[in-house]
Structure 1
């Protein structure tokens, strides 16, 4: 291994879903801090553009690698590339996720399965590689970006909701299993609605065009929580967004009311009246690895 790989200076940060949305903003934030970056997403061309932006923003060095996190071998190769180039990974941020809009019975089985593979199996693949490395080193931060919809179920995104509920359970389990390892930290960051391009790139079988809800926060808000998590000395979980806690309270303590109003509420705030033909969106192509905005 060369001298550069042995350098113990700037942090080495691996980010999945780095081609756009929260993942891209996370990469740029760490670039401004002079980190060495390992960027992954399915869309290789767009990822290369982000890598150039990160270098301009101050990143010490950048690796950009086209990766489908749903494939365990590709994730393993990603970490191998990071270790070969930099000798270690200090922080791993898993932010890649996709969604589909539509009633459960209207979303094709292959689209539903693809969302679960990316959001849950993909996150597990990243977590596995990260934790094996962190346990060998005795230190490291793993950040799994979940969602408000991992604790509050809503209609018209069944695959996303199911995968994010499961991800919340995975985060808790990993925190329990690493509790005896003081240098290894696992963080769950759970955004509410976020203003990203996901609404235009998602699969859509609802018949109407989705839009950014007025309750959405900018990606920078989520990125701040991600960075702060990796500065903590213990594992953590955090809801991010001004509407998260009121929504969770209503879901838990007034379930009948919540279930009665959430459908009409989403039909007003989350969709326009503009019709749209059914589309698989980014379910099977590398055009949008950014996290879903909820």
Structure 2
């Protein structure tokens, strides 16, 4: 069965990575089931997905912290399209602040959405995939699941938990001999989405997307590629890959580097910010958006141009040296 025939469920499809991922699958002609708290934003996502030839959509407003609602999401997908080939656990929230300053209700909410929401998704998707004998469960984690962040404790905790969830599920499925079901974890670096302006913030400082910033479309392409070629874990963004490698080889150095970088470029030294719950308890109004205004796509293009220019310059220099030697 080609990718065009796949039925894909995406949580957190109202904005950011989830929306970009839904559109990427729709572009391949997949049937896409869109889930998030905001129906208006989901309808906007469905409209964009529907522009692609062969794409079909189903909007199912869902609070992923509600296990029954997530089970209903899976049920609706099967009723409408007959199967679930791919389930993308993506819905996530964030809270920044010193450990003592983040309200416990916000701490719990981040863990409930980011951990239990993924648990609910896996428990809804895997029985369907077991019956089919095939399927791919993709959990969107973060490089924060390898190197914690000094100012977003609950988010870092949740992403470490997602790494463990993926590992334990893969081991169980292997022991059960279910080779047709894959569990993959995606670890993006900083991505240009509305995530930062929607996060709870108790730092007193304006949140900034920590550079380098990559586009959500880059993550979406990685997710689509995982369906074709499943891997245990994939890091999106060269800077993220470098940091994860450092964390595994020299964790102490990685922690110190993250602390310096977060204080230097993740929290503004010039602009203050009032304490806010962000969208933790009440979803943002409006139609949602893929990008957050941090220009991830443009900056990625600029980095590629700079690298290409550097390589070209190196090639010219090497050529001159060869010419002189003859």
TM (norm. structure 2) is 0.83
**1:286 partnered with 2:283:** yes
Match of 2:34 among 39, 56, 78: 39
Q: Give the conservation status (yes or no) of the 8 Å contact 2:146–2:160.
A: yes
| Cα deviation, residue 150, structure 1 | 0.6
RCO higher in structure (CA 8 A, sep ≥6): 1
Match of 1:214 among 185, 197, 211: 211
Q: Which has the larger radius of gyration?
A: 2
| Cα deviation, residue 38, structure 1 | 0.5
Q: Give the conservation status (yes or no) of the 8 Å contact 2:216–2:290.
A: no
Structure 1 segments unaligned to the other structure (5+ residues): 1-7
The structure-2 alpha-carbon separation of the partners of 1:115 and 1:81, relative to structure 1 and needing over 3 Å to count, comes to: same
CA distance in 2, matches of 1:123, 1:290: 21
CA distance in 2, matches of 1:86, 1:109: 40
The alignment partner of 1:223 has SS state of: helix
Q: Going by fraction, where is helix more abundant, 1 or 2?
A: 2
In the other structure, the counterpart of 2:24 is 29
**Greater mean alpha carbon deviation, residues 241-250 or residues 251-260:** 251-260
**Greater mean alpha carbon deviation, residues 52-61 or residues 14-23:** 52-61
The structure-2 alpha-carbon separation of the partners of 1:108 and 1:200, relative to structure 1 and needing over 3 Å to count, comes to: same
Match of 2:10 among 3, 15, 20: 15
CA distance in 1, matches of 2:190, 2:156: 13
The structure-2 alpha-carbon separation of the partners of 1:108 and 1:134, relative to structure 1 and needing over 3 Å to count, comes to: same
**1:162 partnered with 2:186:** no
How many residues are treated as equivalent by the alignment?
Answer: 285
| Cα deviation, residue 53, structure 1 | 1.1
**1:269 partnered with 2:269:** no
In the other structure, the counterpart of 1:3 is none
| Cα deviation, residue 252, structure 1 | 3.9
Q: In angstroms, what is the RMSD of aligned CA positions?
A: 2.1
Q: Give the conservation status (yes or no) of the 8 Å contact 1:98–1:290.
A: no
Structure 2 segments unaligned to the other structure (5+ residues): 295-326
Match of 1:247 among 243, 246, 249: 243
| Cα deviation, residue 255, structure 1 | 3.9
**1:71 partnered with 2:66:** yes
TM (norm. structure 1) is 0.91
